[in-house]
Every structure is written in structure tokens, then in C-alpha cells.
Structure 1
């Protein structure tokens, strides 16, 4: 992808260089057109490779066909450079769409695991430089296997799509939702203090619980459990032989997973978080009894 971006910039520069109002010799103009032609061929091939990697064979073939047509095109085509400009604009749009599709989960339209891993590392690096908070909420559908068993996988897919939409409602501009795998999602909440992140996580849980699931299938009920790891996880204990080898992103996701497990053990349909080293449940679930072994983190 970086190669394709560089080629786009190169083509743009060369097209613009040929439209600045200056006179060019016929040989120089022909050489410029030939360079622009070769740039377009490389860009078509780059996008074709990206599409082929995602098994979008028809679209990949179309770009390879365009590259072949450019190779066979008459060097004295009169429509240059206006035709190049139009084609660059079209390729820029297709390239942007291909980049966006490569970081999206095809079922739920949430961001995928690849984007989550890259962006979380980037945000944690920025956090080390600045003072903004970064909270991570790990979301898991309760009893989702039973939904698939009782109503079928097509219904299960509809449930996943709807849950993803509900989780994305009212997220702050810099926050995002990613599918972590299976029936698990992650809400990444940068730039928020712990209280604000907790409000968002609890609102997401309530939104899923209150949705009229019977409109999808009669008697269907769906809830989620959430583990919310706050913005500043403590350092690993001295006797921990595994955590030191983990990245900050992995460590925060692991803490969110531990808190998610606490929410499950407390009866599900709850948000578990850590306050002053003690595991708590948000909202109405706060009066539930937690497993004593999970009260401290």
C-alpha cells in the first residue's frame, strides 16, 4: 500500500508539472507522457495485487486489463494529459476504497483485528508522549453459541451485525469499534477519563439489552458482558515472568479480558471495571455478588 501511495503522488506531480502553462519541446512532452504512462501501469498493478490478496479476482483482472491496455496504447494519443488526470482521480478513489475495505470486517463493517492491533499500538505510543487517557472495553455476546444452536447461523450473523451497530452509536470522534474475533468486539476509547469511558461502556451494554430482539426472531434475547481496562494499567508485578514480554497493547487487552471474565462470573449482562485495585460492576449490576477471588487486581 505505501508503494501505491508513492506512485499516486508521483503521477499527480507529473501531471501537474505538465499543466503549469509552460511550453515544452515535443521530445520532452513525449518523455513526460511516457513516464506518466508507466506510473499508471505500476499503480494498476499495485491495486490489482491488493485486490487479488483479498480474492477479489474480477476487480483485480480489470486493473490488470487496464495495465495491458496502457502498454499497447499509441504513444501519440492526443488526449494526454487530461485523460491521465481523470484516470488518476478514478484510481485515487478506488485506491482509497480498497484501503478502507482492507481494514474492515466484512460481516459487521466494524474495523478488523488488523486495524485494531495497529491503531492500538499507535495510540498507546501517543499516550506515552502525551497525557490523554486510553481505555479499552472488551465486549462479548452472552450465550451466543446457544443463539446459533437455537436459531441458526444466519440469525447469528444478523445478531452480530446489529450488536456492532449498537456498539458504534454515540461513540466519540476518536473512538472506534473493532471485531476482535467470533462474537467479541473491542471499543477503543482514547482521550477520555475513566468515568467517561465507563459511561460509554455501560450505555453500550444497556443499549444491547434494551433492543427489541423479538423483531428479528420471536423470543430472542441478547445481552453482552464487558470488561473495561482503564487508561493507565499498573506495571506487572516483579514476580510476573510473562507480562514483561508483552506489549502495552497486549497487556491492556489481557486486563480487559480478565475483567470481562469477572462480569461473566457475576451473572453476565454487566460491565466490570477496576477502581482503586478493586473489581466493581457498573450500574444496576453493582449490587451483585462478585467472586471473592476476583475482587482484587
Structure 2
């Protein structure tokens, strides 16, 4: 007896789900084939009326387009699917579209938006999602944390992603996580940690006879160069350059970037002839692919090479060319970013998004408090207003006592929950124009205009009492949370942001030395 039409549709849907599972992995290694296959799956999903599978196929198409350099098209698809998933309450597609929007904003250089979508993608993810998908979300969040300067929090997420990839036995995902983690350590300035992670990646690839992609080899070489192991870096980059020939992708950028790094390595080795030859190949690849960004780097490297050879006049002239093209590139990239956003969002929405992202860039993603960037920009202006008005102006640095015990005893995730609650307590203690900010880790700042030194001390003592008396047992058992405060007020000799923060830091240190869980301010004799 032939199957019913409903059964046939169900069988087809199951086939499409299996195909999409495979295509989501294929986009990383063969975006052109993934793009063609996803288009076919999308057509078949339309025929059986499965709009959710149609949207999922569109996301695969969008990611493939991103990989092929069509960032605007990929971003527009991710945005449209995200809107559909929001309207239909489809959590899996909502999580995946936020993930791809995080990648999109990373590519156009909007790091606060990158972080926001990475966080929202993980929040939307079902707790029973496969380990592969959860690991992908965690490492995307880790990458976003790196670009926003939260390196310690990134390490925690990378470790979680690595553990999940190992549990699932997915070698490709393990290598992807290790590569991104090694690069994150390199960006953070931890060359040895980057090299240790890269070595684990190399060992894993060798064990499973897994060929490393060009980007992974570039990460290895970057760590080697940072440790001064230039000869090893040259061998690594030569291998990467050989693999990149004939497989340039959309515009040849991977090959050109590898050649630029190779030329720098050869210069540092003193092999100027080899460096010059490599730079010629790099410039040819830039001309062929229209790679203005890599070309600017190549011009700078050529100037460095001329200076190393003692040809300072030509080096100076070339450096002027580099500087002019660098300035033009910054302007062009700014315009391109605006055009890309315009292509992805409607005009009014783009304006709202721009304002929202500006506000987000000033906020700490974990607690919602203002961040160091906001403090750096706003505190100077507030001090200028204080100078004009002559009213009192105080600040307090706040540092949680022995907070490492919380992370060690319970987990960084639980530590994050404590930090959120501390942020709520700090916010409740001040009213505008005063505000609370998170400077990083467990360090916060209270900024209190129109507040005398003594009033600021009373405020901090009240916050200290709220922290001590709060019931933390549901989060961290019997551990109590206390804080030390360094309070200071602006004076004629202490009217700049740097001077004020430095004095607050000295008073905070004094509070720590005096036994913690207290507020220490300027000497009473100061006015």
C-alpha cells in the first residue's frame, strides 16, 4: 500500500532536516557547494509547506554568502530570519539567527552588537540542544568577549566549548575551538598560552590526520612569532602559503594575508631577499583581488624592509604613501559599514539600531551597568561641569572582597549571577545624575556629583551594609559578599579623571590593607 501524502511529506521533512544538519557544517569548508545545496533544500521545503525548514535553509544560504564575501546579503538574510523567528516563537531559529548576526556584526566591526547577539543566541538556545550546537554558541560568545576586552570570561566559555566538543567526539569542532582559543590568547598578549593551545591543536590534527585550514596555520605562526620563534613561523607560513595557492576563495584575501605575515617573518629573520620576493607575490594578490586592507599592510612592510636595509629616504617616502592610503582606507571602511547596515536594515530601523548600538557600546553586557568606555568619556565632562559650578564631586572605587573564592567554589556562571545582584544593589544606592559602572572583573565605580566626601562615605557604608545583609544562600551557600571602598573627592589639585581615579585607587588599597569590608576616604584635612 503506497504511503499517504502526509507520510510522504513527513519523510521528505526528515530528509531535509538531515541535509540541513550536514550543510551547517559544510558552509565552513565549502561555502559554494553549501550555497547551491541550501538553495535546493529551500525549494523543496517550500513545496511541502514547511516554512521553518525554508527559513533554516535561508540561514545556511546566508552563512555561505558571508563566507564568500557577500556580507550584506548574508546579514540581511540573518536579520529577516531573526524577525520571522521572533514573530513565530521559533526558539531554535531565533538562537541560530542571533548567532549569525553576531558573526555579521563582527565582520563589519560593530563589536558591541556582536556581543549582544552572541549573548542572546545562547540565551535562546534550548538546554537540550546538541553538544555541537551549544559548543558553537559558546565559542562564538567567547570570541565576542575577546573583541570586547573580557579575556578571562572568554577563557571560561572556550573551556566549556572545548569540553562539549570533546564529549561529542567532533574533531573538526575541537580544532575550530582550539584555533579560536589560541588566537584569543594571542590577542590578549598571552603568547605562551596561545602557543600551548596551538600545540594541542597541532597534536589533535596529527592524531586524526586532519588537515589544518589556512587560518589555523596563521594562528600557529602568530604564536610562534610572538615568542620569537621566527624560523618555525616561516616554515608554518610557507606550508600555509602552499595550501592557499589555487584556493583563494572569493577574493584571495587568505593567501595575501598569509604572504604578508610571511614577509614580516622573513624580515625579522634577516632574510631580506626572501621577504622582498614574498612581498611582490603579496602585492600581486592584492591587485588581483582588490584587497585594499592587505595592500596597506604590505606598503608598511615594504617601508620597514627599506629601513632595515638602510634606505631611509625611500622608506620615508613609502611610509607617506602608506599613511595616506591607510587614512583613505579607514574612511572607505566607515562608508562601507554604513552602506552595509543600510542594506540590512530599513532606514528608520537602521537609525534606531545605530542609536541602540551606541548605547550598548557604553554598557557592560553582563550587568547592564555603564562600562569603562563610558567612564572614560563621561567622567571628564562631568568634572568640567564641576569646575564651573564649584559644587562637591566624589567617586568611590568598589572591589568585592575575596571574590575568587566564589568562582573557585561554585563556578564562573554562579559568580556572574553574584555580580548581577551586586550591580542591582549599587544601582539602588544612587540616583541620577550619580551612576554606577563596572570597570571589569569584580571592580566597580560609583560616580557621585553634588556629593561631599562625607556623604560619599555614608553612601558606601550603606552599600556595604546591603551587601553584608543580603541573603546570598540561594546562590553561594554560606559564603558572604563584602566589599572595600576607596572614596575621594575632586579638589583643585585633583580635578582630572586620572588624578581622581588614582587617589580612589590608593584609598581602596588602604581599605584592603586595613582588613577589607570598609570605606576609606581622603584625610579629613583635605579640602
Q: TM-score, normalised by structure 2?
A: 0.36
Partner of 1:196: 455
Task: For 1:35-54, list aligned pairs within 5 A.
Answer: 52-54=109-111
Task: Say whether 1:254 aligns with 2:502.
Answer: yes
User: Structure 1 residues 66 and 121 mapped into 2: Cα distance closer, same or farther (>3 Å)?
Assistant: closer
Asked if structure 2 preserves the Cα contact closer than 8 Å seen for 1:193 and 1:231, the reply is: no
Asked if structure 2 preserves the Cα contact closer than 8 Å seen for 1:141 and 1:222, the reply is: yes
Asked if structure 1 preserves the Cα contact closer than 8 Å seen for 2:464 and 2:518, the reply is: yes
Which one of 180, 187, 190 corresponds to residue 446 of structure 2? 187
Partner of 1:171: 430
Task: For 1:1-297, list aligned pairs within 5 A.
Answer: 52-54=109-111, 56=113, 67-68=342-343, 88-232=347-491, 235=493, 248-277=496-525
User: Structure 1 residues 134 and 55 mapped into 2: Cα distance closer, same or farther (>3 Å)?
Assistant: closer
CA distance in 2, matches of 1:251, 1:67: 42
Q: TM-score, normalised by structure 1?
A: 0.61
Superposed CA deviations along residues 3-60 of structure 1, whole A, max 9, x for unmatched, are xxxxxxxxxxxxxxxxxxxxxxxxxxxxxxxxxxxxxxxxx9xxx799732174689x
CA distance in 2, matches of 1:68, 1:136: 44
Equivalences, count: 206
CA distance in 2, matches of 1:188, 1:63: 34
- Residue 169 of structure 1 aligns to a residue whose secondary structure is helix
Partner of 2:321: none
The runs of 5 or more residues in structure 1 that have no matched partner are 1-43, 71-86, 237-246, 279-297
Superposed CA deviations along residues 71-130 of structure 1, whole A, max 9, x for unmatched, are xxxxxxxxxxxxxxxx55433322221111010011111111010011111111111222
Asked if structure 1 preserves the Cα contact closer than 8 Å seen for 2:453 and 2:487, the reply is: no
CA distance in 2, matches of 1:183, 1:172: 22
Greater C-alpha radius of gyration: 2
CA distance in 1, matches of 2:502, 2:342: 47
- Residue 219 of structure 1 aligns to a residue whose secondary structure is coil
The runs of 5 or more residues in structure 2 that have no matched partner are 1-75, 77-104, 119-336
Question: Hey, which of these two has a bigger chunk of helix by percent?
Answer: 2
Asked if structure 1 preserves the Cα contact closer than 8 Å seen for 2:398 and 2:443, the reply is: yes
Partner of 2:14: none
Asked if structure 1 preserves the Cα contact closer than 8 Å seen for 2:113 and 2:357, the reply is: no
- Residue 173 of structure 1 aligns to a residue whose secondary structure is coil
User: Structure 1 residues 90 and 268 mapped into 2: Cα distance closer, same or farther (>3 Å)?
Assistant: same
CA drift of 1:66 comes to 6.7
Superposed CA deviations along residues 228-280 of structure 1, whole A, max 9, x for unmatched, are 00232x638xxxxxxxxxx81111111111111111111111111124248xx
- Residue 178 of structure 1 aligns to a residue whose secondary structure is strand
CA drift of 1:194 comes to 2.4
User: Structure 1 residues 179 and 68 mapped into 2: Cα distance closer, same or farther (>3 Å)?
Assistant: closer
Superposed CA deviations along residues 123-169 of structure 1, whole A, max 9, x for unmatched, are 11111222122101000000011221111211111111111111110
CA distance in 1, matches of 2:518, 2:344: 59
Partner of 2:147: none
Stretch of structure 1 that moved more, 143-152 or 189-198: 189-198
Question: RMSD of aligned C-alpha atoms?
Answer: 3.2
CA distance in 1, matches of 2:496, 2:112: 34
CA distance in 2, matches of 1:63, 1:122: 28
User: Structure 1 residues 55 and 179 mapped into 2: Cα distance closer, same or farther (>3 Å)?
Assistant: closer
- Residue 444 of structure 2 aligns to a residue whose secondary structure is strand
- Residue 515 of structure 2 aligns to a residue whose secondary structure is coil
CA distance in 2, matches of 1:199, 1:276: 14
